[in-house]
Amino acid sequence: MTETRSAHDRSARLNLVAADAVDCTRCDLYRRATQTVFGRGPVTAPLMLVGEQPGDKEDRAGEPFVGPAGEILTRALGDVGIDQDAVYVTNVVKHFKWERSGKVRLHKKPNADEVRACHPWLAREIELVEPELVVLLGATAAQSMLGKSFRLTKSRGQLVDWEYPPKAMATIHPSAVLRAGSGREDAYRGLVADLLVAKSVAFG
């Protein structure tokens, strides 16, 4: 009963944090974004996946990982036997940063100030979800949380020390699979291999 009440309390508090994030104006990204895209998943999730920022489809839907990269992630989670409903997914930055190319809104990498401004939201998510493992997806997410000296190509799939209680590791962002061209299958197999490590750590 104590664990149930604790989870219920953490869930209620996380909902309050998400409600506060709706009106976030810590940086200027809110001015051009459709809405804040907060995390999604159970507060009891043993695994948290953290990407860089929402994309065009996520910005419109108001949920993380519902676009093409999300489809890759869903497929990879299924291939390693991780129930997506047992995972909490979110992003380092909660607003979509973009630039116009004709009629298309293209992703633009957030800068250090924008990442820093959004950091308190992610910190609260980690605190309230209390996952066993946080997996940082892509170099931007990894470096924003593990430091600029972190090299994804060197340390992906490895457990690393950081400032939070949960264990942490990094792997490629699912969008990197989409950009890999003729190397797409190899990139996907690498993502799956890293998620297998994550599964063993988070779920035992």
Hey, what are 134's tokens?
Answer: 């946080």
Q: Range of 13's domain? A: 2-203
Contact assessment for residue 113 and residue 27, using Cβ atoms and an 8 Å cutoff: yes
Contact assessment for residue 97 and residue 29, using Cβ atoms and an 8 Å cutoff: yes
Tens-level pLDDT at each residue, the chain (204 residues): 455 679 999 999 999 999 999 999 999 999 999 999 999 999 999 999 999 999 999 999 999 999 999 999 999 999 999 999 999 999 999 999 999 999 999 999 999 999 999 999 999 999 999 999 999 999 999 999 999 999 999 999 999 989 999 999 999 999 999 999 999 999 999 999 999 999 999 998
Count of domains for the chain: 1
Hey, what are 203's tokens?
Answer: 């779920």
SS3 117: helix
Contact assessment for residue 145 and residue 51, using Cβ atoms and an 8 Å cutoff: no
* Entry pTM: 0.96
CATH number of the CATH domain containing 80: 3.40.470.10
The owner of tokens 């999300």 is: 70
